[in-house]
Amino acid sequence: MSYDHLLVQRPGVTFDETGEAHVLVWAPEAEKVQLKLDKTDHLLDLEKEGYGFWKLETRALAHGQQYSFLLDGEGPFPDPATLHQPNGVHGASEAFDPQQFRWTDDSWTNLPLKEYIIYELHAGTFTPEGTFAAMEAKLDHLVELGVNAIEIMPVSQFAGGRNWGYDGVFPYSVQDTYGGPAALQRLVNACHEKGIAVVLDMVYNHLGPEGNILGKFGPYFTDKYHTPWGDAVNFDDAWSDGVRHYFVQNALMWFRDFHIDGLRLDAVHAIKDFSPVHILQEIREKTNALGTGREHYLIVEMDLNDTRYVKPTETGGYGMDAQWIDEFHHALRVSSGQERSGYYSDFEGVASLAKSFRDAYVFDGIYSDHRKRKFGMKADGIPGGQFIVFSQNHDHIGNRMLGERTSQLVSAEMQKLLAGAVFVSPFVPLLFMGEEWAEPNPFQYFVSHTEKELADAVRKGRKAEFAAFHAEGEAPDPVAESTFENSRVQWHLLQEEPHRTMLAYYRQWIALRKSEQVLRECDRNGLSVEVAEGKESIVIQRVWERQHLVAFLNFSKAPQEGLLPYEHLAWKKLIASSDPDWNGPREMPAQAGAGALSLPPESISVYVNITSS
């Protein structure tokens, strides 16, 4: 069989329309590969196809049946491309045919990415039950809130039942404690029926430690490069074609078989690949050729400020649709008066925030004192819809020692200002679950490794990481079930004050983001930003066609003066965080002419010209 023909088939077990199982395993260094049917001694030999691939076509393996592999008599090992591990990472795999699900989302059309309002959530802590089925019951809340896309933190099978998801060891699988692959299909279908797109967080830069058997099958990793997690995934060393096939087909599977609308690819700066065609570019090109008739987005998290990732492939880029902008968050956090330690030390509060509003990247070729070198490049010409911004997310909450959310770090007035800064930006907004009602529970780092030595190592490592912070208390034990339970959101708070009013405030911002074209358009060209020196405030102006918007962001603890421009224009208030409607201290004028406004401390006030409406 030709090399190209082999690379078209998804690895693992697939089923044709007659129910026959097609098995493809990549094990280039093995002399014999056998499939073992669970609870039997029955072994089926796979046929060597060349290029490291082994194949089998059989009717002895059916949907729902468990199986494993033997390599040169050693094992049994789970399938590296398993879709379901009903007994955890150490158990046998279960054959799963995604074609058995009956989709009812034929009328679904993915939204333009620039119109996304993204809600990031963790499947295990979003509901008391921690399952996909329980998430379905909360979709009406998201519809009423106004978000139109959810981003689910990684669901690939990990050890135990508690994990952020970044310790997954089977990228094709769906965590059994969340409900497994069939439950994920049902959730996606339900989201589409309610007008919600689904983005899935995937980790292609490393695999977790417990249950990681890929190295048993072949050179999935290389010591050519080193990462924070050890040897790098082998994307460009000897035998890397088989590894690339594994990850490319994984991305295609989520789009084709699970109707996922977009993938958020974790920490792509840790992907080491100097091939002529970068693995991200290959995923982009193969996704474009998939032929589902739908738009599928590729979103990256990266710490490089390198526009090559988001430029089209035809201009030499990797073709990613968007990237997270951590620097907007960092500047926003420092502007709110929070500490400037570590990488936050590079940011100058409102001056850095104004630069991020204008230029996306704060460090775009200028000197970074934290890095002791110049860093980044200019993002000129990249549309605002290719940048995703946030005032908090799982990383910047959970990587704090105590996992405090913004609600526990700043005042309610500042929380409203931070939210407004995200929504008034010319970028795509993202919220983290519970943010919309000022959830007070933390989101702490948690794992549930079943191997004692590994669990102890994680526990010790977490304590060592925060050894200098003992004055603030002890780092929560990441292995303790209580750390996980403490990280659940509290749904009963939606009916209580001040959470109910904060929720109404977020709903209003999202409604404005959708209804006001000047906010809906992620236009960087029609934006100007002015910093009030020494006053910790910013004035943002955005123009789209005849609509002109002015936003005053006062980060100081004192009133400031803001000037509405253009004597010939009359202005109406779109929203003001200080209004009593949002439990604020003072109502801003509903209409105003050009001239001075008194801006309350820690507030955002937004006006639009009346003639545009």
**C-alpha to C-alpha distance for 13 and 35, rounded to whole angstroms:** 11
Domain count, the chain: 2
Which amino acid is located at 430 in the chain?
L
Q: How many CB atoms lie within 10 A of CB 311?
A: 17
| Cα 83 from chain centre | 21
**Do 331 and 555 meet the contact criterion of CB atoms below 8 Å apart?**
no
- Report the distance separating Cα 382 and Cα 378, nearest Å: 9
What per-residue confidence (pLDDT) applies to 6?
65
User: Measuring CA to CA, which residue among 433, 459, 431 is closest to residue 445?
Assistant: 459
Given the residues 241, 266, 306, 359, the one annotated as active site: 266
Q: Are residues 564 and 573 in contact, defined by beta-carbon separation less than 8 angstroms?
A: no
Q: Could you say which of 237, 301, 321, 579 is catalytic?
A: 301
**Residues with pLDDT less than 50, the chain:** 470-471, 613
Could you give the C-alpha distances from 155 to 123, 130, 148, 164, 207, in angstroms and in order? 8, 12, 20, 9, 13
Q: Domain of residue 563: give its range.
A: 523-612
Give dist(CA 55, CA 295) in Å, integer: 32
pLDDT value for 467: 64
What's the pTM value of the predicted model, to 2 decimals?
0.96
Q: Residue 65, Cα to own-chain centre: how many angstroms?
A: 33
CATH number for 545: 2.60.40.1180
C-alpha span between 341 and 333 (Å, rounded): 11
CATH of the domain at 63: 2.60.40.10
Residues that constitute the known binding site for substrate: 264-269, 326-330, 394-399
* Residue with tokens 């959730």, as numbered in its chain: 187
Catalytic annotation on 485? no
Sorted by sequence, the CB contacts under 8 Å of residue 496 that are 6+ apart come out as none
The answer to whether residue 189 sits within a structural domain is no
Sign (positive/negative) of CA torsion 202, 203, 207, 208? Answer: negative
**Within-domain flag for 605:** yes
**CA angle (118, 429, 362) in 5-degree steps:** 135
The per-residue pLDDT for 363 is: 94
Binding site members: 264-269, 326-330, 394-399
Question: Which residue from 238, 208, 202 is spatially nearest to 223, judged by alpha carbons?
Answer: 238
Which of 69, 98, 127 is a domain's end point?
A: 98
Contact 387, 322 (CB under 8 A): yes
Q: What per-residue confidence (pLDDT) applies to 468?
A: 55
Q: Interhelix angle for 499-515 vs 412-424, to 10°?
A: 20
14 lies in some domain:
yes
Q: What local confidence, expressed as pLDDT, does residue 234 receive?
A: 96
pLDDT at residue 3 in the model: 64
- Give the per-residue pLDDT at 193: 98
Angle 391-395-401 (CA atoms, 0-180°, nearest 5)?
105
Q: Is residue 80 part of a domain?
A: yes
pLDDT tens string 39-63:
888 899 999 998 999 999 999 999 9
Residue 289: per-residue pLDDT: 95
Residue 86 maps to a domain: yes
43 inside domain: yes
The last residue of one of the domains, among 98, 119, 146, is 98
Answer yes or no: is 143 within a domain. Answer: no
Q: Write down the H helix ranges in 450-498.
A: 452-465, 481-485
| Domain annotation covers residue 201 | no
Long-range contacts of 41-50 (CB under 8 A, 24+ apart): 43/70, 49/1, 49/6, 50/1, 50/3, 50/6
Q: Does residue 176 have an active-site annotation?
A: no
Domain boundary residue, one of 42, 72, 98: 98
pLDDT at residue number 470? 47
